[in-house]
Structure 1
Amino acid sequence: MLAFERLGIRFGGNQAVQDVTGSLTPGKITAIIGPNGAGKTTFFNMLSGFYKPTSGVITLSGQPISGRPTHEVVARGVARTFQTTTLYKNLSALENAVLGHRVRTKAGLLDALLRSGRERHDESESLKAAHHALERVGLERKAHVTASLLSQEEQKRVSIASALATQPSILLLDEPAGGLNPEETARLMDLIRQLVGAGLTVALIEHKMNLVMGLADQVMVLHHGQLIAQGPPAEVSRNPAVITAYLGSHGGGGQHGQSAPAGGASV
């Protein structure tokens, strides 16, 4: 279980996230939603080790991981993707996935220079893990295609495969459906369900409310860096504090031009 208590971070005089307490339910899908600037990606950056919290604690299976380097967090089983697909576009899908597994390898620079037995073993294991990850996301047949030649949906799947190659127990997805059309989004939802069905715990940041309402087991709502609601999607969508956060205190005019999280609207 990944849990967090009174988690917060300050950048200068700006309290970006404050006093967020909760956990990711094992084997379930948790959606993190909120208006623009609510602190969602900053929250993910703390969970994944990219930012060091200035307050609170993060634990994984009861052990504190707050402030540990990203590679240590990944090695302990927490992987993530980014809002903007971060692939090496001149490498193949397989080569991108191989890079994900390198966090699990033991060989060092000298091993690589000497092509030691350890390096050859690690290389073999990375290839196996990468092929398996691409198979899980449905792209094994395009393993040797250069990433830049893949569609937007396929590139997102490669990004997920690279995260899966680290052999995580928890997968954090930052706007996985961004830039995808409804048909592509539906296919991605099916993939996420399959991954969770195979034992992964998933948390995702998402603005497409039809995806959230149809996919998430639990929803956490951030607003101005604070957790204002959490629970099942239908319950959260009726929460007055959530409706106010999206529409503003005066209702229909909308806050930042956004829509209320109900009826499958995109917010």
Structure 2
Amino acid sequence: MYAFDIERPTTIAEAVEALKNDEAQALGGGQTLIPTLKQRLAAPEVLVSLSGIAEMKGVSASDGVVTVGGGATHGEVAQGASAYPALAALAGGIGDPAVRNRGTIGGSIANNDPSACYPAAALGSGATIKTNSREIAADDYFQGMFETALEEGEIVTGVSFPIPKAANYQKFVQPASRFALVGVFVAKYADGVRVAVTGAAEEGVFRWSEAEQALSADFSAKALEGLSVPADGMIADMHGSAEYRAHLVKVLTGRAVTAC
């Protein structure tokens, strides 16, 4: 680690003002940023903590939508998103109790780690990402590995999830990190099925459109027969080959559909 200053704003407006400093970086729960600082992969002079901003807290449900404040921890989502059981279960399976007590949905969505769970829930739900200045559809928000539509100094203040008729998240856990080696979020809505995959692709979270079409016509695991996910563009590392991850995508999608 190295020396840096920390600011603790109590409102979104104060946080936005603090982030106008070119050497400042937002700090959510710190579950990604702190290890990054320890490895000297980032070296901001000022950290702007978002943990004290009350207007970014809380989980609520209204008119068929669950809204989660950007500062809500994984543990709070697990307990508070009962109106959307698949989302609550996903949050309850992130990391370990220490991670769930500190990590925030806003930090996860802003970082867009290619193996994180929340991006799959957001994309699979057709969620809306709310920032201090605008609202962004999930389909437009996630733009590649660690890449999002966020502009410099923009803060994720909340995420709104339309509640589906049925949904389930299946994660093949990488034991050491608890990240998803592959994770698949399936959500069935009145206008069709959405399937979002995390942990598998080099470009990060993505929708499996062929499966969506098949499942929209026949919402059963049998509808996936004959479909396959290309290994091209899949992550290949010590934990699994590209072909293995492609295989897991189909297997987990079937399991998610069956569990709905």
TM-score for both structures, normalised by structure 2:
0.28
**Higher CA-based Rg:** 1
Q: Per chain length, whose mean CA-contact separation is higher, i.e. which structure has more relative contact order (CA < 8 Å, sep 6+)? A: 1
